[in-house]
Amino acid sequence: MKKSLVLAMAMALGVTASAYAANPFSDVPAGHWAYDSVAKLAAAGVVDGYADGAFAGDKLITRYEMAQIVAKAMAKGADCDKLAAEFADELDTLGVRVAKLEKGADAVKIAGQFRIRNVAHDSGDKDKTDIRTRLWLTGQINEDWTYTGMFENVQTVSGSDKGATAEDDVYLGRAYLDGKVGGMAVRAGRWDEIPGSGAVLDTYLDGVKIAYGNDVKVWATAGKAADKDHTNTGFALTSESNDRVYAAGVETKVGVVNAYANWYKVNGDAVEIAEGRTGEKEIYNVAVNMDVAKDLNLSYEYMWGDKEYEKEVSKDGYIVGLNYKGADASVAGTYGVHAYYYDQPVNAILSPTFDLNNFLDEGGYEGWSVGVDYTLAKNIQLCVNYYDTEAKIGSNKDEVVYSELYFFF
Lowest mean pLDDT among 5-9, 113-117, 361-365, 392-396: 5-9
Query: Amino acid identity of 290?
Result: M
**Short-list 88, 188, 186, 174, CA closest to 138:** 174
Question: Is pLDDT above 80 for 9?
Answer: no
**What is the reported pLDDT for 20?**
45
Q: pLDDT tens digit string along 38-87?
A: 677 776 667 776 666 676 666 777 777 777 777 777 776 676 777 777 77
**Short-list 46, 4, 37, 34, CA closest to 19:** 37
* DSSP run (H or E) holding 63: helix 63-75
**What is the reported pLDDT for 82?**
72
**Short-list 34, 84, 78, CA closest to 42:** 34
Query: Amino acid identity of 65?
Result: E
What is the domain partition of the chain in residue ranges? 3-103, 108-408
Distance CA 123, CA 403 (A): 17
Could you list the beta-strand ranges (E) of 195-270: 203-212, 216-225, 236-237, 245-254, 257-266
Distance CA 25, CA 286 (A): 60
Lowest mean pLDDT among 4-8, 70-74, 142-146, 334-338: 4-8
Under a CB-based contact definition with an 8 Å cutoff, are residues 357 and 389 in contact?
yes
**Average pLDDT for the chain:** 81
**What is the reported pLDDT for 19?**
44
**What is the reported pLDDT for 146?**
95
**Short-list 142, 236, 225, CA closest to 180:** 142
**What is the reported pLDDT for 286?**
98
Under a CB-based contact definition with an 8 Å cutoff, are residues 366 and 395 in contact?
no
More confident of the two residues 11 and 34: 34
Q: pLDDT tens digit string along 121-154?
A: 997 678 999 999 999 999 989 889 999 999 999 9
Lowest mean pLDDT among 213-217, 237-241, 283-287: 237-241
**What is the reported pLDDT for 407?**
97
**Short-list 280, 387, 288, CA closest to 344:** 387
In b/e form, how buried is each residue of 88-119, taking b as 16+ CB within 10 angstroms? bebbeeeebebeeeeeeeeeeeeeebebebbb
Rg of the chain in Å (alpha carbons): 27
Q: What is the mean pLDDT of residues 21-43?
A: 67
Q: What is the mean pLDDT of residues 104-131?
A: 84
Residue 380 to residues 115, 130, 136, 373, Cα–Cα distance (Å): 10, 17, 17, 11
**What is the reported pLDDT for 234?**
37
* DSSP run (H or E) holding 79: none
Query: Amino acid identity of 60?
Result: L
**What is the reported pLDDT for 337?**
98
More confident of the two residues 80 and 114: 114
Tell me the pLDDT band of 268, cut-offs 50, 70 and 90. low
108-408 adopts what CATH topology? Answer: Porin (2.40.160)
Terminal-to-terminal C-alpha distance of the chain = 40
Question: Is pLDDT above 70 for 277?
Answer: no
Q: What is the mean pLDDT of residues 203-219?
A: 93
Lowest mean pLDDT among 73-77, 315-319, 364-368: 73-77
Q: What is the DSSP letter of 151?
A: E
Lowest mean pLDDT among 13-17, 108-112, 333-337, 399-403: 13-17
Query: Amino acid identity of 107?
Result: A
Residue 302 CA from chain centroid, whole number: 23
**What is the reported pLDDT for 352?**
84
Tell me the pLDDT band of 235, cut-offs 50, 70 and 90. very low
Tell me the pLDDT band of 339, cut-offs 50, 70 and 90. very high
Question: Is pLDDT above 50 for 236?
Answer: no
Distance CA 293, CA 288 (A): 16
Is the pTM higher than 0.75? The answer reads no
Question: Is pLDDT above 90 for 229?
Answer: no
Question: Is pLDDT above 70 for 17?
Answer: no
**What is the reported pLDDT for 284?**
96
Percentage of the chain surpassing pLDDT 70?
Answer: 72
DSSP string, 87-109: THHHHHHTT----GGGGSTT-EE
Under a CB-based contact definition with an 8 Å cutoff, are residues 86 and 103 in contact?
no
Question: Is pLDDT above 60 for 16?
Answer: no
